[in-house]
Chain A
Amino acid sequence: MRTVDFSREDHYKNAVFPSPFHSRQKQHNKLREWSRWSDYLSVPAYWCESMEYFAGRNACGVFDITPMVKHLVTGPDALPYLNRLMTRDVSKIKPGRVGYSVWCNEQGRVIDDGTIFHLTEGVYRICSQEHQIDWFMTNTLGFDVTIVEDTHDVAGLALQGPTSCAVLRDMGLDGIENLTPFGLTYFDFHGTELMVSRTGFTGDLGYELWTSPENAEMLWDRLFEAGEQRGIKAMGSDALELLRIEAGFILAGADFLPAAEAVRPTHTRSPFELGLGWLVSFDKGVFNGRQALLEEKQNGSRFHLVKLDIDGNKPANQSFVYTKNKKYAGTVTSAMWSPSAKASIALASLEAPLGKPGEEFEVEIYYQRELKWSRVMAPARVVKDVFWDPPRKRQTPPADF
Chain B
Amino acid sequence: MISKMESVIIIGGGHNGLACAAYLAKAGRKVTVLEAAGQVGGAAATREFATGYKASCAHLLNLLDDGISKELGLASNGLSMAKSGLNTIALATDGNHLTISADRVDGGSLSGEDQAAYKEYRRFMSKYAGIIAAMHNMVPPRITQDRGDLMALGKLALKVRMLGRDDMRELLRIAGINIYDVLKENFDNPLLKGALSLDAVLGTFSGPRSNNSVFTALHRMSGNNAGAAGAASIPAGGMGAVTDALAAAAKKAGAEIRTGSPVSKILMDGMQVSGVELTGGEQISATTVVSNADPKTTIMELLGARHVEAGFARKINNIRAKGNAAKLHLALDGLPDFTGVSPDQLGERLVIAPTVEYVELAFNHCKYGEFSANPVAEITIPSIHDTALAPDGKHVLSAIVQYAPRNLGVGWNEGKGAFMEAIFNTLSAYAPDIREKTVASELLTPEDLENEFRMGGGHWHHGELSLDQFLMLRPVPGSAQYKTPVEGLYFCGAGCHPGGGVMGSAGKNAATAVLSN
Contacts and interface: CB of A to CB of B under 8 A. Distances in A.
Contacts of A84: 306, 309-310
- Of B309, B310, B317, which is in contact with the most chain A CB atoms at under 10 Å from its CB? B310
Give the interface residue-count category, chain A.
Answer: 20 to 34
A105 B312 CA distance: 11
Contacts of B308: 286
Contact of B314 (A80, A85, A138, A287): A138
A46 B306 CA distance: 47
Contact of B310 (A80, A285, A288): A288
A142 B313 contact: yes
A288 B310 CA distance: 6
B150 interface: no
B311 A80 contact: no
- Of B270, B305, B306, B314, which is in contact with the most chain A CB atoms at under 10 Å from its CB? B306
B420 interface: no
Given A142-B300, A142-B304, A291 B309 contact: yes
Nearest to B478: A106
Nearest to B308: A286
B310 A291 contact: no
A57 interface: no
Interface string B438-470: 000000000000000000000000000000000
Nearest to A142: B305
A290 B306 CA distance: 13
A138 B310 contact: yes
Interface string A132-151: 00010011011100000000
B515 interface: no
A289 interface: yes
B485 interface: yes
B271 interface: yes
A162 B63 CA distance: 77
B483 interface: no
Contacts of A85: 310
Contacts of B300: 141-142
B105 to A, nearest CB: 49
A141 B314 contact: yes
A172 B235 CA distance: 86
B311 A106 contact: yes
A75 to B, nearest CB: 13
Nearest to A283: B270
Interface string A76-120: 010011001100000000000000000001100000000000000
A290 B486 CA distance: 12
B385 interface: no
A106 B313 contact: no
B122 interface: no
B43 to A, nearest CB: 27
Contacts of B485: 291
A288 B306 contact: no
B29 to A, nearest CB: 26
Contacts of A138: 310, 314
A135 B314 CA distance: 11
- Of A105, A286, A290, which is in contact with the most chain B CB atoms at under 10 Å from its CB? A286
Contact of A290 (B304, B309, B317): B309
A141 B317 contact: yes
Contacts of B310: 84-85, 106, 135, 138-139, 141, 288
A139 B304 CA distance: 13
A105 to B, nearest CB: 7
B305 A105 contact: no
A99 to B, nearest CB: 20
Interface residues of B, number: 17
Contacts of B83: none
A287 B307 CA distance: 8
Nearest to A143: B306
B306 A287 contact: no
Contacts of A105: 311
B305 A141 contact: yes
A290 B304 CA distance: 17
Nearest to A81: B306
Interface string B268-281: 00110000000000
Nearest to A85: B310
A67 to B, nearest CB: 26
Nearest to A80: B306
Contacts of A77: 306
B293 to A, nearest CB: 16
B270 to A, nearest CB: 7
B273 to A, nearest CB: 12
B309 A288 contact: yes
Contacts of A142: 300, 304-306, 313
Interface in B121-149: none
B271 A286 contact: yes
A285 B313 CA distance: 15
Contacts of A290: 309
Nearest to A108: B309
Contacts of A143: 305-306
B496 to A, nearest CB: 20
Contacts of B309: 84, 106, 286-291
Interface in B304-344: 304-314, 317
B311 A286 contact: no
Nearest to B309: A288
Nearest to A291: B485
Contacts of A139: 310
Contacts of A286: 271, 306-309, 486
A287 B312 CA distance: 11
A76 to B, nearest CB: 12
A90 B300 CA distance: 23
B471 to A, nearest CB: 21
Contacts of B313: 141-142
Contacts of B314: 138, 141
Nearest to B318: A141
A285 B270 contact: yes
Nearest to B303: A142
Nearest to A292: B309
A291 B485 CA distance: 8
A86 to B, nearest CB: 11
Contacts of A287: 309
A137 to B, nearest CB: 10
A102 to B, nearest CB: 15
Nearest to A135: B310
Nearest to B300: A142
A138 B310 CA distance: 7
Nearest to A286: B307
A104 to B, nearest CB: 9
Interface in B7-55: none
A106 B312 contact: yes
Nearest to B304: A142
A291 B311 CA distance: 12
A141 B299 CA distance: 11
A97 B13 CA distance: 50
7 contacts: A84-B309, A138-B314, A142-B305, A285-B271, A286-B306, A286-B307, A287-B309
Interface of B: 270-271, 300, 304-314, 317, 485-486
List the 5 closest pairs (A to B, CB-CB), nearest first: A142-B305, A106-B311, A139-B310, A141-B305, A288-B309
Given A105-B311, A286-B306, 18 more contacts: A77-B306, A106-B311, A138-B314, A141-B310, A141-B314, A141-B317, A142-B305, A142-B306, A143-B305, A285-B307, A286-B271, A286-B307, A286-B308, A286-B309, A286-B486, A288-B311, A289-B309, A290-B309
